[in-house]
Amino acid sequence: MSGNTQPAMIDPFGRHVTYLRVSVTDRCDFRCTYCMAENMTFLPRKDLLTLEELDRLCSTFVAKGVRKLRLTGGEPLVRKNIMSLVRNLSRHLETGDLEELTLTTNGSQLAKYAKELADCGVRRVNVSVDTLNHDKFRQITRWGNLGKVMEGIAAAQDAGIGIKINAVALKDFNDRELPAMIEWAHGQGMDFTVIETMPMGEIDADRTHQYLPLSVLREQLEEQWTLRDIPLKTGGPARYVEIAETGGRLGFITPLTHNFCEGCNRVRLTCTGTLYMCLGQDDAVDLRAPLRASESDELLTRAIDDAIGRKPKGHDFVIDRTAKPSVARHMSVTGG
């Protein structure tokens, strides 16, 4: 029996906001070169919302019509006692107020938590894997161990969790490897999504050298496979095709060549309680102050309504050799 009593969250462009992505930590046990600088300065732990506060915030959004909740980071599974939050949030699955509780992970901690995640009602997770070459994996993640990630994927599948592999398409790094990676994923019963590199935060590399338009990748894939557009919607920004030869699904996330803003149903909450209405814009609303100002949710609800009323039509991502990143904050701050 649903307990939702709040009016729906509808932005100025008539889009229903039903999907909340929550960065539970800005910390990560990898340092992926397109995402972070090697020597990152992370938030002091005292600045983070407690897990209880995150639960209250998420629950307020569920009461206001959020149907899909994704935990992200950084790496969400490195947050201390994170499973207590997952277990608490799973109560909304049991009431039917929430349709899906999921997370995006680098897979490093998945072997440890897969069974418990499944017990909490997590039915699928996204795992970021940019190469199947062990040396290149260490190179791109700086600190990562591909073998450990593969163990995590196997453990999740054994627990009955569906896996979608996410890979950032990087020119002259994994572009030639992507067809083999897609075949591997589909052979293991996993969906696969490719993502254009996003201009967020100062990193050590030049993103203009990394950038591979997915329109080019699709043309290359169509030389060897039959790609058929399908109307699949998973709540996120990917556009999907089915590959006849592999029998699997392939998603394209294209913030640069073809933005996905017209159907955006998402907002993003950081681990400090800042709500970003758009991944590619800096406008944000502080929810920590109203959360802590009162035990009643009235101030919090009002702040959320104000935020949704300011959700922009779209983002302004651009890759340019001379320009700074479109958005100064790192992806790990807002959540992947």
Q: What is the pLDDT of residues 311-324, one digit of tens each?
A: 987 755 444 444 44
What is the mean predicted confidence (pLDDT) over 109-115?
98
In a domain, 5, yes or no: no
333 is in an annotated binding site: no
Helix (H, G, I), strand (E, B) or coil at 119: helix
Residue 209: per-residue pLDDT: 66
168 marked among binding-site residues: no
pLDDT over 60 (residue 336): no
* Domain-located, residue 19: no
Confirm whether 16 is domain-assigned.
no
Tell whether residue 58 is among the known ligand binding residues: no
Sheet of 162-169, strands arranged across: 227-230, 239-243, 249-253, 191-196, 162-169, 124-128, 100-105, 68-72, 19-23, 266-269, 274-276, 284-286
The verdict on whether residue 314 carries a ligand-binding annotation is: no
The model's pLDDT over 274-299, given as tens digits with 9 standing for 90+, comes to 999 987 677 899 999 999 999 999 99
| pLDDT for the residue 30 | 87
C-alpha distances in Å from residue 78, one per residue of 71, 105, 325, 331: 12, 10, 27, 17
Domain count, the chain: 1
Q: Is 268 annotated as a binding residue?
A: yes
pLDDT digits (tens, 9 = 90+) for 115-138: 999 999 999 999 999 999 999 999
The pLDDT of residue 306 is 95
**Annotated binding residue 278:** yes
Residue 102 CA to residue 219 CA, distance in Å, equals 32
pLDDT, one tens digit per residue, over 22-72 is 999 999 988 888 787 778 888 888 889 999 999 999 999 999 999 999 999
DSSP letter assigned to residue 45: G
Report the distance separating Cα 99 and Cα 66, nearest Å.
Answer: 9
Tell me: the pLDDT tens digits for 212-268?
889 999 999 999 999 999 998 776 778 999 999 999 999 999 865 555 566 788 899
For residue 324, what pLDDT is reported? Answer: 46
Does position 335 have pLDDT exceeding 60, yes or no?
A: no
Full residue range of the structural domain in which residue 134 is found: 24-334
Q: Is 211 annotated as a binding residue?
A: no
**Per-residue confidence (pLDDT) for residue 96, from 0 to 100:** 98
Residues 182/192, Cβ–Cβ less than 8 Å = yes
113 annotated to bind ligand: no
What pLDDT, on the 0 to 100 scale, is given for residue 320?
Answer: 45
Is there a binding annotation on residue 271? no
0.85 cut: is pTM over it?
yes
Q: What is the DSSP string of 189-250?
A: T-EEEEEE---BS--SS-HHHHB--HHHHHHHHTTTS-EEEE----SSS-EEEEETTT--EE
- Tell me the mean pLDDT in the region 177-201: 89
Least confident of 72-81, 179-188, 211-220, 275-284: 275-284
266 marked ligand binding residue: yes
Burial label for 118, CB within 10 Å (0-12, 13-18, 19+), is middle
Residue 242 class from Cβ within 10 Å (0-12 exposed, 13-18 middle, 19+ buried)? Answer: middle
The annotation status of 19 as a binding-site residue, yes or no, is no
| CA terminus-to-terminus distance, the chain | 32
Beta bridge partners, 95, equal: none
Average pLDDT score over residue span 131-147: 95
Q: Is residue 8 part of a domain?
A: no
Nearest to 269 by CA among 250, 253, 285, 246: 285
Q: Is 207 annotated as a binding residue?
A: no
User: In the prediction, which pLDDT does 8 show?
Assistant: 85
Please give the pLDDT value at position 203: 42
Instruction: Establish if 10 belongs to a structural domain.
Output: no
The answer to whether 123 is a known ligand-binding residue is no
Q: Does 21 belong to an annotated binding site?
A: yes
Backbone angles phi, psi at 79, to 5 degrees: -70, 130
Cβ(60)–Cβ(301) below 8 Å: yes
CATH of the domain at 56: 3.20.20.70
pLDDT (0 to 100) of residue 7:
75
Rounded CA separation 230/249 (Å):
9
Farthest CA pair distance, the chain: 60
Please tell me the predicted confidence (pLDDT) of residue 42: 85
Q: What is the DSSP letter of 2?
A: -
Q: Is 288 annotated as a binding residue?
A: no
Is 120 labelled as part of a ligand binding site? no
Whether the predicted pLDDT of 334 surpasses 90: no
Query: 10 Å Cβ neighbour count for 107?
Result: 28
pLDDT averaged over every residue in the chain: 87
